[in-house]
Amino acid sequence: MGLSQWLALLVFHPFEFRTLLQFYLYHEQKRDIKALREHPTSGWDRESMRRCWEFLDKTSRSFSAVIKELDGDLARTICLFYLVLRGLDTIEDDMTIPDDVKQPILRKFHELTVTPGWKFDGNGPDEKDRQLLVEYDQVVEEVNRLTPGYRKVIIDITQKMENGMADYAHKAATTGVIYLEAIADYDLYCHYVAGLVGEGLSRLFSESGKEAEWLGRELELSNSMGLLLQKTNIIRDYREDTDERRYFWPREIWGKYGFKEMKEMYQPESLERAQWAQSGMIVDALRHATDALDYLRYLKNQTVFNFCAIPATMAIATLELCFMNTEMFQRNIKIRKADAAQLIMRSTNPRDVGLIFREYARKIHAKAVPSDPNFIHISIACGKIEQWCEQNYPSFIQPPSGMGTQPTLDSSDARTIIANLETDFNGELAGRKRMIDFANGDRKLAMSRIDVVKANGKFSTSQAKGAGQEVTMGKMMMYVSAAFTLLLALGFGAAYGVIWIAGDSLV
């Protein structure tokens, strides 16, 4: 941003100015791929890899930032994965390439990607990513430098994706059918262009060792992550895609509102009906939201989490921006930079991401109108996000305020009473078990009973110990008294027996 833009922001949007200033001052860059110590994993010391990083910046500035902060060689690997798929997508999207030329390139793209020296200059002059394919031999060189495990994943996903893209491109070119008819067709198309990306990323995360080995087999959740982002982009890019004769909205959604062609939706007299179609598309996208949140909870590496969480929170914010917004039909709209900066700073853990989703779901629900045919469906979709947050991160439990502090319970919430009763019960149960262990002579097991309190949802270990000790002391005194009485009785009995025996012998 230039000085004039900063001044304008300060005058007209002071709160946004403060947010952006905080972001630039306090948001630390996690990694500098140009640093000498990073060259072994980032490949910055090679001219071909430097060119790949430049192409990444040109094709997607938003993804570029989060990719560069990934740990180790994962950043370089995903950079190349992104460029390979971007090159494939550039060929598929280019309507100037005849189908008989496009088909063999698409269906062999996985082989061409590892063929030294291969590049392509047949894209139309107006294709924005044309230069990537003109210099694709740089990408090929770097892909061949990857470890066999990484390269296998990239080639496998590319092969799956290219066949799906080729099928759709051929159908459009030979049958003249330019629309996706059913929602199932829409889901399948999005799976090919984005769901497979999610699968590939999960497999790369696992291959790197930074995430669990089984994550690469979570195909349904990986697919949902990809579909949420892809469908959000398709909704937001309506006008741009329509102007370029790319139609991705399924007729099953927009056809029910009386439209025969997608371009009719941006006519002034059709805006109300267009909003109903728009809300139907957003309902469809929101059905992937809770799966995406579940996926994020599985991630353990912070840089991988940021890489996945930031686009997800951007997506839910974009859906809220598009909902009931007629400007979307006239131009390409985006969330403001200050909002994006705030989302980046907040997207650091699964709980906060869940709260971001809930926040924007509430905004979407607040904008819904009863006259919308999708009103009930919108309410249900937003309610599922609300339910997910409450189930996984109950609102009456307040997280620790700092290091060394314990979570607290909201005293005004009725659920706190139940939680306290459960805490007391668990403490008493732990105390009884501990006392029994003492009685049985197993001191080590008795001391470990304190952990039962924590395992059963106890929030204060000291409270658990207190509850256990209180029960233990009372019961212990009772047992000690009983044992003492028994010993006395045995002692008196033994003494009497001795006297009796002695007396009997004297007689």
Q: Enumerate the active-site residues.
A: 189, 236, 246, 307
Token pair of 482 as six digits: 């009983």
Give the number of C-alpha atoms closer than 13 A to the C-alpha of residue 173, restricted to the C-beta side: 18
Q: How far apart are CA 471 and CA 469, in angstroms?
A: 5
Q: 89 and 193 in contact (C-beta within 8 Å)?
A: yes
**Which of 321, 317, 314, 334 is CA-nearest to residue 367?**
321
Q: Measuring CA to CA, how many Å separate 67 from each of 50, 53, 201?
A: 14, 10, 12
Which residues are 158's β-sheet partners? Answer: none
Q: Angle formed by the axes of helices 337-346 and 302-322, to 10°? A: 140
Give 116-140 as a DSSP string: TT-----S-TT-TTHHHHHTHHHHH
Q: How far apart are CA 393 and CA 391, in angstroms?
A: 6
Token pair of 341 as six digits: 């900066």
Q: How far apart are CA 375 and CA 304, in angstroms?
A: 36
Q: How far apart are CA 102 and CA 122, in angstroms?
A: 10
Give the number of C-alpha atoms closer than 13 A to the C-alpha of residue 258, restricted to the C-beta side: 8
Q: 68 and 75 in contact (C-beta within 8 Å)?
A: yes
Give 371-406 as a DSSP string: TSTTHHHHHHHHHHHHHHHHHHS-TTEEPPSSTT--
